[in-house]
C-alpha cells in the first residue's frame, strides 16, 4: 500500500512491529511489521519464518526480512511460542509490502505473559515515535 497507515486495533512495538491480540482468544496474537518498516526496507524479496514451536522473547529478534539491498531483523513485540507461520510469504514475500497488516502477517503466537501487552503502544503513540 502506498499510503502510511496504522490501524487502531493493533498494538505497536517501537521497533516497528505490530501485534493483533485475538479478541476471541486473548492469549494469542498475530505479529507483523508496520507500514513504516516495510516502506523503509523497500521491496521485500525474502522471508523465512522460524519453525512452529519456536519461543519468542519480547524485544529480541526472531526472524529476518530481506529486501533487495538489506537484511533486517524482526523484533518480537511479545514473548510466546509460535503456533503458525504465514506460509504464503515463501512464494509471495511482497505481501509484506502490499498488505502489511493483512495478508503480510508473519507469525501467530501463544503469549507466555499476557501482561506484556501493556508495554506496547497504541497507534497514536507509535505514530508519535516516528517523528516528522
Partner 1 sequence: MSTHPPQTLRRTPLFDRHEAAGAKLIDFAGWEMPVQYEGVRSEHLAVREACGIFDVSHMGEIETSGPQALELLQRLLSNDVAKMPVGGAQYSLLCREDGGVLDDLFTYRLQADRYLTVTNAANHVRDLEWFNRHAQDLPEAEVADRIEDYAMLAVQGPRAREIVQALADAPLPARMTSASGRLAGAEVLVCGTGYTGEDGVELLCAPEDASALWGEIVGRGATPAGLAARDTLRLEACFHLYGNDLSLERNPIEAGLGWCCKEDTGFIGSEAVRAVRAAGPAEKLVAFVIDGPGIARQGNPVVGGGEVTSGTLSPTLAVGIGLAYVPAGRAAVGSALELDVRGKMRPAVIKQKPLYRKGT
Please give the residue ranges that form the binding site for partner 1 (CB under 8 A).
16, 36-37, 40, 42-43, 45-46, 48, 64, 66-69, 71, 90
Nearest one of 33, 18, 103 to 66, comparing CA atoms = 33
CB of 21 to partner 1, least distance (A): 25
Q: For residue 119, what is the DSSP state?
A: G
Nearer to partner 1, 25 or 48 (CB): 48
Pairing label, strands 80-85, 107-111: antiparallel
CB of 120 to partner 1, least distance (A): 19
**Cell numbers of 72, please?**
533486517
CB of 31 to partner 1, least distance (A): 18
Nearer to partner 1, 52 or 90 (CB): 90
Nearer to partner 1, 73 or 113 (CB): 73
Q: Give the angle 1-120-5 at the CA atoms, nearest 5°.
A: 15
Nearer to partner 1, 3 or 115 (CB): 3
Counts of helices then strands in the chain (DSSP H, E): 3, 9
**Cell numbers of 70, please?**
538489506
Amino acid at each position: 500500500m502506498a499510503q502510511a497507515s496504522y490501524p487502531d486495533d493493533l498494538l505497536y512495538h517501537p521497533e516497528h512491529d505490530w501485534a493483533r491480540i485475538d479478541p476471541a482468544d486473548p492469549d494469542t496474537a498475530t505479529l507483523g511489521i508496520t507500514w513504516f518498516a516495510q516502506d523503509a526496507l523497500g521491496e521485500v524479496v525474502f522471508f523465512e519464518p522460524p519453525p512452529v514451536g519456536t519461543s519468542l522473547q519480547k524485544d529480541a529478534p526472531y526472524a529476518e526480512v530481506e529486501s533487495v539491498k538489506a537484511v533486517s531483523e524482526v523484533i518480537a513485540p511479545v514473548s510466546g511460542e509460535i503456533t503458525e507461520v504465514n506460509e504464503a510469504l515463501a512464494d509471495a514475500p511482497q505481501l509484506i509490502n502490499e498488505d502489511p497488516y493483512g495478508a503480510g502477517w508473519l507469525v501467530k503466537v501463544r503469549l507466555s505473559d499476557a501482561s506484556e501487552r501493556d508495554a506496547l503502544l497504541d497507534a497514536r503513540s507509535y505514530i508519535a515515535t516516528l517523528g516528522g
